[in-house]
């Protein structure tokens, strides 16, 4: 009876959290639950002897103490930025869109010919910081003569937060255009990885933005629009998702407040702008370990026991609320295909053998964009194609370099646009 009463009050509290969207850091739901529980306990105790009148209040007190842990922040509620990296300067640019982003520059580092067109890197996420493993790859590209720029998209890493309602895939595309303008170098080559590949796909479909792009490399893109996001089907070859050792380190989801907030947000029961956990607090709380098997899914099964450290704890940054908000704007967007079919920006699609992306997300881009000149299927790598293992970085750099310099591709053009059905049937 005692445990049942505590459980009932806890369930009522969670239901009220959903109904109130976590208003007042959950205190509205907590006070209402406590009030209802106290009233019921008072009703149950009305005919009891004096010594027994307090017994019905005991489960209310226990439930109140347990649910209060959901209402009390365990990390600072003001934004806590990662410290600067020791190997590259962090600059901040305020773009014409109003976004203030952290910018990193790797100038050409070799003594050979320098490439005249700057190369801009759009990282994955959405709304994450740029991982140190990405920074190492950018230095490799700079060593091949490229003038490399990267920026952490609004809300991620060392970039400033936006009001939650301002995050959208359309805003991400406008920020890219504003960043290229801010460079002041004319057109730029752009490498977009994962969620950055989605931004880049939508950029080449927008004539005003595409006019700023010289060449586009779309690597392992996510869904480009609502219809694509609803596509089902297989992914790449087996990943290390269920094979790699469990990720160690602190997890915010071990704490009741963040387990409830992030869990209900992921289920769609709380809005990204929930009053339970603010955007800055959620960013401060979320850790690399919270990603769990998502990291392992970016590597091939054979690499399960040698997955490299992608990031340091200090450099890791992820904003769950902003990320969810952008994903929802993609899912709610109409088909991009009519616009993408008019694209004229020379482009290359890169896909991985052990990709964790649904293959039809990737082949949809190839099917609809007539300006994709080649597709490079990289064997032996997962979603994280440049990962520091074996010669994977060198192979990815060779593919990128060949395309940007207009040289023959180091790998077969596969799959071709006409070969998409056969590629999908083969389960690759």
Averaged pLDDT of the chain: 92
CB 161 within 8 A of CB 79: yes
Position 56 pLDDT exceeds 80: no
Position 49 pLDDT exceeds 60: no
User: Residue 63's pLDDT is what?
Assistant: 84
The full length of the chain comes to 428
DSSP structure class, residue 197: H
pLDDT digits (tens, 9 = 90+) for 173-213: 999 999 999 999 999 999 999 999 999 999 999 999 999 99
User: From CA 44, how far away is CA 56, in angstroms rounded?
Assistant: 7
User: Residue 70's pLDDT is what?
Assistant: 93
Angle between helices 132-142 and 392-404 (to 10 degrees): 50
The per-residue DSSP string of 14-72 comes to HHHHHHHTTGGGGHHHHHHHHHHHHHHHHHHHTTS-GGGTTTTHHHHHHHHHHHHTTTS
User: Residue 6's pLDDT is what?
Assistant: 81
Mean predicted confidence (pLDDT) in 397-408: 96
User: Residue 52's pLDDT is what?
Assistant: 59
Q: Which two tokens stand for residue 381?
A: 């790598």
Give one word for 99, left, alpha or beta, with left for phi > 0 and alpha for psi -120 to 50.
beta
pLDDT digits (tens, 9 = 90+) for 271-319: 989 999 999 999 999 998 888 778 899 999 999 999 998 988 889 999 9
Q: Positive or negative, the Cα torsion across 195, 201, 203, 205?
A: negative
Position 18 pLDDT exceeds 90: yes
CB 383 within 8 A of CB 361: no
Mean predicted confidence (pLDDT) in 241-264: 88
* CATH superfamily name and code, 91-246+295-425: Alpha/Beta hydrolase fold, catalytic domain (3.40.50.1820)
pLDDT digits (tens, 9 = 90+) for 331-353: 999 999 999 999 999 999 999 99
Residues of the chain with pLDDT > 70, as a percent, come to 96
What is the maximum alpha-carbon separation in the chain? 93
Answer with the residue of higher pLDDT: 111 or 66: 66
> 175-179 long-range CB contacts below 8 Å, 24 or more apart?
175/95, 175/97, 175/99, 175/101, 176/120, 176/122, 176/200, 176/203, 176/209, 177/203, 177/208, 177/209, 177/212, 178/95, 178/96, 178/97, 178/99, 179/93, 179/95, 179/101, 179/120, 179/149, 179/151
List strand residue ranges (DSSP E) for 254-360, in order.
Answer: 347-354
Mean predicted confidence (pLDDT) in 30-56: 74
User: Residue 50's pLDDT is what?
Assistant: 59
Mean predicted confidence (pLDDT) in 415-426: 95
For the chain, domain boundaries? 2-68, 91-246+295-425
User: Residue 284's pLDDT is what?
Assistant: 94
User: Residue 43's pLDDT is what?
Assistant: 72
């Amino acid at each position: 009876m005692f445990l049942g009463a505590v459980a009932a009050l806890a369930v009522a509290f969670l239901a009220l959290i959903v109904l109130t969207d976590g208003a007042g850091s959950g205190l509205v739901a907590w006070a209402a639950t406590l009030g209802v529980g106290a009233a019921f306990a008072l009703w149950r105790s009305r005919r009891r002897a004096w010594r027994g009148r307090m017994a019905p209040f005991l489960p209310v007190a226990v439930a109140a103490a347990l649910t209060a842990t959901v209402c009390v922040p365990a990390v600072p509620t003001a934004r806590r930025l990662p410290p600067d990296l020791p190997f590259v300067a962090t600059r901040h640019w305020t773009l014409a869109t109003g976004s203030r982003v952290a910018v990193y520059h790797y100038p050409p580092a070799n003594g050979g010919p320098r490439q005249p067109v700057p190369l801009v890197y759009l990282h994955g996420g959405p709304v994450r910081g740029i991982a140190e493993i990405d920074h190492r790859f950018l230095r490799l590209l700079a060593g091949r003569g490229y003038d490399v720029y990267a920026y952490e998209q609004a809300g991620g890493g060392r970039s400033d937060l936006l009001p939650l309602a301002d995050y959208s895939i359309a805003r991400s595309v406008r920020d890219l255009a504003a960043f290229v303008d801010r460079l002041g170098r004319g057109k730029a080559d752009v490498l977009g990885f994962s969620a950055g590949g989605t931004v880049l796909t939508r950029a080449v479909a927008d004539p005003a933005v595409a006019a700023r792009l010289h060449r586009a490399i779309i690597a392992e893109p996510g869904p480009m629009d609502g219809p694509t996001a609803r596509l089902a089907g297989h992914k790449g070859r087996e990943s290390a998702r269920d094979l790699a050792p469990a990720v160690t380190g602190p997890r915010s989801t071990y704490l009741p407040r963040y387990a409830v907030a992030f869990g209900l947000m992921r289920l769609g029961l709380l809005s990204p702008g929930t009053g339970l956990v603010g955007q800055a607090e959620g960013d401060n709380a979320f850790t690399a370990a919270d990603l769990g098997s998502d990291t392992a899914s970016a590597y091939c099964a054979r690499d399960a026991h040698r997955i490299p450290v992608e990031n340091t704890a200090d450099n890791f940054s992820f904003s769950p609320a902003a990320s969810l908000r952008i994903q929802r704007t993609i899912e709610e967007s109409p088909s991009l295909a009519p616009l993408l079919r008019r694209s004229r920006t020379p482009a290359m699609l890169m896909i991985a053998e052990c990709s964790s992306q649904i293959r039809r997300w990737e082949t949809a881009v190839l099917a609809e964009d007539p300006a994709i000149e080649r597709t490079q299927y990289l064997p032996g790598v997962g979603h994280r194609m440049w990962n520091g293992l074996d010669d994977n970085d060198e192979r990815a750099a060779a593919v990128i370099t060949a395309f940007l310099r207009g040289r023959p591709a180091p790998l077969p053009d596969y799959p071709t646009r006409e070969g998409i059905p056969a590629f999908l049937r083969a389960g690759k």
